[in-house]
Amino acid sequence: PTTRDVVIVGGGAGGIAVASSLLAREPSLAITLIEPRSEHYYQPGWTMVGGGVFDNNLTIRDEIRLIPAGVRWIRASAAGFEPQNNAVILEDGEKVLYKTLIVAAGLKLDWKAIPGLSETLGRNGVTSNYEPGLATYTWELVQRLKKGVALFTQPPMPIKCAGAPQKAMYLSCDYWRRSGCLNHINVEFNTAGNVLFGIPEYVPALDAYIDKYGIELGLGQNLVAIDGPGKTATFEMVFDDGTSITEDRHFDMIHVCPPQTAPDFVRSSPLSNEAGWVEVDPDTLQHVRYDNVYALGDVCSAPNAKTAAAVRTQAPIVATNILNAIHHSPERALYSGYGSCPLTVEKGKIVLAEFGYGGKIMPTLPFIDGTKPSRIAWLLKEKMLPWVYWNLMLKGREWLVKYETSETHRTARPVALLDKR
């Protein structure tokens, strides 16, 4: 096989955005994209599909239309990495050689971690906006439910778009409130976490909606099993002294957010950290052990909120750092950890969480106070952000993307891990 300049694994938000960012800067680069799917999903739209605002078709485009001209597409799954040989191994054993590798393979939705879940998903009132195509079933269930029990669950972190389980719930409650059924429906939010949302500045606004809709908030409650035909969900509660109990709850509908992990082929590769994610420097997104490897999006180990908004900032940073490394420039673009989570608290209003590393609040538009429900933020989500995704982010047009640069930054190398491998 011939060696390509840059090989990208994964053609979702991160893979396409970074390919475009690279070509916008250096059109002559030879790029290969490894991606098995023929469809590309705009996942942030699925909350709106589940709330009856968007048609699901708006969230799907043909991958081939999004891959920038000149990029070679290998329509296959990567099965492993041999970074010592600069090679990606495909499912059929074929090797793809690279000078620089970018991993953008997203994360794994671990449906099987909850016994009974995969068998009943999409039936028996069990739904999830996280599964491609299933947000339409969420909207069907919401419209059908007139009384009974509606459960919304959230697994332990990390998950992509940490606000999405709540968004599904608030939009459902808003529909039930407007149609006069909310008083006849017991709504519960069962989260494995100990807070409603990880960044305290946004919690008061969300708490107000928990009260307004009469939602029962169950903190520290982790979904561990589900019986679809029996309409029963089992939750585990762990106490401070380490003891735990399980409790069965009846439901008429349940929206499940599945546990999420690094993809298996990444987790088992030399690129991963202890937790399974591709181990990058959180500032430069360069691998900490293999200089010619980078990662962005949900698969990377950087402790930002796993969102498409994060990818929008990460893609130009990775592109800049790769090209500077190729051209022996010491300058590095540095990632602030920016990510964003537009919390759809009711139809027409959003609490727009935007923050970076350490929970630093990072508003993009100064006239939106993200800690308060806002109509402008809703218009942004409904009318602007899908356009921004398809026409700016995936095309390498970097409006309103901010990052700093440094000529002295050095990627930190964990010596112990280097010795171990």
Instruction: Report, in Å, the least distance between residue 131 CB and ligand FAD.
Output: 8
Alpha helices in 51-196 (DSSP H): 63-66, 117-120, 135-144, 164-178
Nearer to ligand FAD by C-beta: 29 or 107? 107
Q: How far is CA 131 from CA 76, 257, 359, in A?
A: 21, 9, 28
Count of beta carbons in the 10 Å neighbourhood of residue 157: 13
Strands 293-295 and 95-103: parallel
Choice between 231 and 255, CB closer to ligand FAD: 255
Q: Which is nearer to ligand FAD, 105 or 377 (CB)?
A: 105
Residue 127 Cβ vs ligand FAD, minimum distance, rounded to whole Å: 11
What are the tokens at 198? Answer: 């990880």
- Determine the residue with CB nearest ligand FAD: 12
Q: Active site residue: 173, 257, 300, 341, which one?
A: 341
Over its C-alpha atoms, the chain yields an Rg (Å, rounded) of: 22
Residue 49 has φ and ψ, to the nearest 5°, of -65, -45
Could you tell me the two tokens for 145? 């439910």
Are the beta carbons of 307 and 293 closer than 8 angstroms? no
Nearer to ligand FAD, 288 or 305 (CB): 305
Which residue, 147 or 360, is less far from ligand FAD as judged by CB? 360
Question: Least Å distance between CB 298 and ligand FAD?
Answer: 4
Beta carbons of 155 and 130 less than 8 angstroms apart: no
Our CB check for ligand FAD shows the closer of 47 and 100 to be: 47
Closest among 210, 218, 253 to 343, alpha carbons compared: 210
- In the numeric block, the tokens 């590309």 are attached to 40
- What is the rounded distance in angstroms from the CA atom of residue 135 to the CA atom of residue 129? 4
Q: How far apart are CA 256 and CA 92, in angstroms?
A: 34
Alpha carbon 341 to its chain centroid, in Å, reads 10
State the DSSP string of 183-230: GGEEEEEEESSSSSSSSGGGHHHHHHHHHHHT-EEEETEEEEEEETTT
How far apart are CB 284 and ligand FAD at their closest, in Å? 17
* 187 contacts 215 by C-beta, under 8 angstroms: yes
For the CB of residue 328, give the shortest distance to ligand FAD in the complex, in Å: 29
Catalytic residue among 161, 173, 257, 300: 161
CB of residue 146 to ligand FAD, shortest distance in Å: 25
Nearest distance in Å: CB 226, ligand FAD: 19
Q: Which residues bind ligand FAD (CB under 6 A)?
A: 9-15, 34-37, 43-44, 46-47, 77-78, 104-106, 129-130, 160-161, 164, 263, 265, 297-299, 306-309, 311, 340, 342
Residue 341 annotated as catalytic:
yes
Q: How far apart are CA 306 and CA 313, in angstroms?
A: 12
Closest CB to ligand FAD among residues 114, 409: 114
Cα distance from N-terminal residue to C-terminal residue, the chain: 27
Catalytic residue list = 161, 341
